[in-house]
Amino acid sequence: MSVTLGDRTAGCLCGAVRMTLRDMPRSYGACHCEMCRRWTGAAFLAVSLPGDSVRIEGAERIGRIQSSGWAERAWCTRCGSGLWYRVTLDGVDGAGGYEIPIGLLDDPNGLSFDREIYVDCRPDSLAFEGMAQRETLTRAETLAIYAPTEEGQQ
């Protein structure tokens, strides 16, 4: 049984898009793939939630791009805040869970950083404390577990 923080709220910079995250898990992770680094400007730090755990308000302000064969990225069309990375399984909306950036949380406290993926793509100047206490996966290890195709990027 995973530990949750209960329900949390989140939103973009301008407030046009708001989210309620039901039974939000305590843990979050980082992705260092090239796409996430370009999208966020650094590592993508996010909490993972099943699709039915995210309630969205302001959907008319959401822009989306199918960023790979199996995932989309979304942003607020008013302020540009990145809203989520989401598995879509070949473009089928609603097929997978969300990765919600922890920076969007109204209350980011109580979280535990427990995993990093694409660690072999992490810039050598970027380091987090406590590496030995986290699960870490290389690009190849990540793709072997999660990627439905051999595209090589998230």
Q: Kindly report the number of other CB atoms within 10 A of residue 117's CB atom.
A: 26
151 confidence band (pLDDT: 50, 70, 90): very low
Average pLDDT, the chain: 88
Domains (ranges, CATH) in the chain?
8-146 (2.170.150.70)
Contacts by residues 145-154 (CB-CB < 8 Å, ≥ 24 positions apart): 147/70, 148/69, 148/70, 148/89, 148/90, 149/69, 149/70, 151/68, 151/69, 151/70, 153/33, 153/34, 153/35, 153/68, 154/31, 154/33, 154/35, 154/36, 154/67, 154/68, 154/71, 154/85, 154/118
- Report, as an integer, the average pLDDT of 66-85: 93
Report the amino acid identity of residue 106: D
87 confidence band (pLDDT: 50, 70, 90): confident
- Whole-prediction pTM: 0.87
Q: Look at residue 146 and tell me whether its pLDDT is greater than 50.
A: yes
- Give the pLDDT of residue 2: 61
- Report, as an integer, the average pLDDT of 84-89: 87
- Give the pLDDT of residue 65: 95
Give backbone dihedrals phi and psi of 28, rounded to 5 degrees, phi first.
-145, 170
- Give the pLDDT of residue 22: 96
The Cα–Cα gap between 69 and 62 comes to 20
88 confidence band (pLDDT: 50, 70, 90): confident
Q: Look at residue 10 and tell me whether its pLDDT is greater than 90.
A: yes
- Give the pLDDT of residue 154: 45
- Report, as an integer, the average pLDDT of 69-98: 84
- Write the pLDDT tens digit of every residue in 42-67: 999 999 999 899 999 999 999 999 98
